[in-house]
Amino acid sequence: MDRPVRAHSRGHRRRSRDPDASVTRGRSLLVAGTTSDAGKSVLVAGLCRLLARRGVRVAPFKAQNMSNNSVVTLDGGEIGRAQALQATACGLEPSVRFNPVLLKPGSDRRSQLVVRGRVRGSVGARDYVRHREALRAVVAAELAGLRDDFEFVICEGAGSPAEINLRATDLANMGLAEAGDLPVLLVGDIDRGGLLAHLYGTVMILEPADRARIRGFVVNKFRGDVEILRPGLDELTRRTEVPTLGVVPFEPELWLDAEDSLGTVADAPVGRPGPPLGSRWLTVAAIRLPRVSNSTDVEALACEPGVAVRWVSDPSRIADADLVVLPGTKATVADLAWLRTTGIAAELVRRVRAGRSVLGICGGYQMLGTRIVDEVESGAGTVPGLGLLELEVRFAPQKVLRRVSGRAGTIAVSGYEIHHGRVVRRGDPALLRRSDGIPEGSVRDVVTGTHWHGLLECDEFRRRYLREVDRHSGRSGFVVSPDTSVARVRAAQLDLLADLVQQHVDVDAVIELAR
């Protein structure tokens, strides 16, 4: 895959190299969904990849996202992970322009508000209304700028446009379509059941002006003979006057870069790992914290042949695992309390005493220490950690947001940081050193921790770490693959998406909608 390039600024507009190209500058459309996780993100990524392969300068856009899976951009902000993947599909570096408003849930009632990549405070559903006009202006300005700079902008909705109780404050669905005069492609997931009712109901519940913007349907995750579905789609078109422009089949090989941490299900496997190269599998138990964030960190492990990764929420499921991963969280102190309540904390202590590997990432790393002082995120003050690392963390109001690089011994490593907690005391050897010489992370025998997200995507580091885990397991027969590349796996997934869109969606009709 070509190396991503920066999203160019509004002051340097680039003209199409082909004046006769079928796609002209400034086209845009909105991909909405009948429900959350209907397939909006993957369809946008597939369309972006396909258009980029055709030589079109295309960019993604999600006006407002709600997700704890985020990525740090080159300009030092954070955006939703799905928009970062879509940017990669376009051959672009992630930019705050592609996701100007991000809500990161910290509880059932309040979320951290991130605008143009920077934290603007915490909001609840009701007080969020106060921000709507300012946010509407931000969204409109970013979309207009992208349409100036790119030939095609593919927007992704949020949740469902059928949530008419939210229409007055909507920034990402029909509110965006109205403000940007966008045609809308509506995606439904047939795997959930009730697809025809979902599509029909979504259209018919809208006000006439919004309804008129729905210009095409796409069916996602179809299994079986499409001719059996055809009569229902024809009747749907007769009743709504909206054509079905694609029926995309279920593809089990698509799994990398999940849109939302909330999509991770306890006791569910991660990915589709190939068979082991040796005589046995290496097993990984990833703790499904209630407020898990950046859950995609463990996906790099699932890219490895013979590595079976599973989300778990029961202490009995971690006893026999070769490795337990404590991932990031948006509520470190609350999720630490949950570990103790469920008995997982005690099981972690037992397995470390038995010489079994544990890895903590970001919030999970903080939990492994001796003490957390938090007057910022939870307001709980001083809270004892699990005591598995000699580490004290203090939360600060200003969030750390940065891309980082360095070396773990002789291995070049990179990643990104998103956290409020600062290490104020570290008594164990550092895991690595940043490029500026500052130590990062901790290692104490079988316990490893780091604030860096994306570290496991560094192929050489991951291989070395898996060999250490295998050694501590006391078993034999697992063989680490010598050539697995997470970047290549991601590129292959994006190309598979583009191929599915090309084969099963009337792409020319979709392009024509945005004329």
Task: Give me the active site residues, please.
Answer: 362, 453
What is the spatial distance between Cα 404 and Cα 436, in angstroms, rounded to a whole number?
A: 10
On whether the CB atoms of residues 104 and 120 are closer than 8 A, the answer is: no
CA gap 261, 158 in Å, rounded: 15
**Residue-wise DSSP of 232-247:** HHHHHHHHH---EEEE
Tokens representing 380? 């709980």
Torsion sign, CA atoms 173, 175, 179, 182: positive
> If we measure between CA atoms, which residue out of 251, 252, 255, 234 comes closest to residue 243?
234
Q: Which two tokens stand for residue 188?
A: 């439904």
Cβ-proximal residues to 137 (8 Å cutoff; 6+ apart), any chain: none
Buried b (16+ CB within 10 A) or exposed e, 318-352: beebbbbbbbbbbbbbbbbbbbeeeebbebbeebb
CA distances to 86, 185, 215 from 507, in Å? 17, 12, 13
Could you tell me if 362 and 399 are in contact, meaning their C-beta atoms sit under 8 angstroms apart? no
Q: Token pair for residue 512?
A: 């024509």
Q: Is the dihedral of CA 210, 206, 114, 127 positive or negative?
A: positive
* H-helix or E-strand spanning residue 107: none
Strand ranges inside 212-303, DSSP E: 214-222, 244-249, 269-270, 282-287, 292-293
Q: What angle do CA 483, 4, 47 make, to 5 degrees?
A: 100
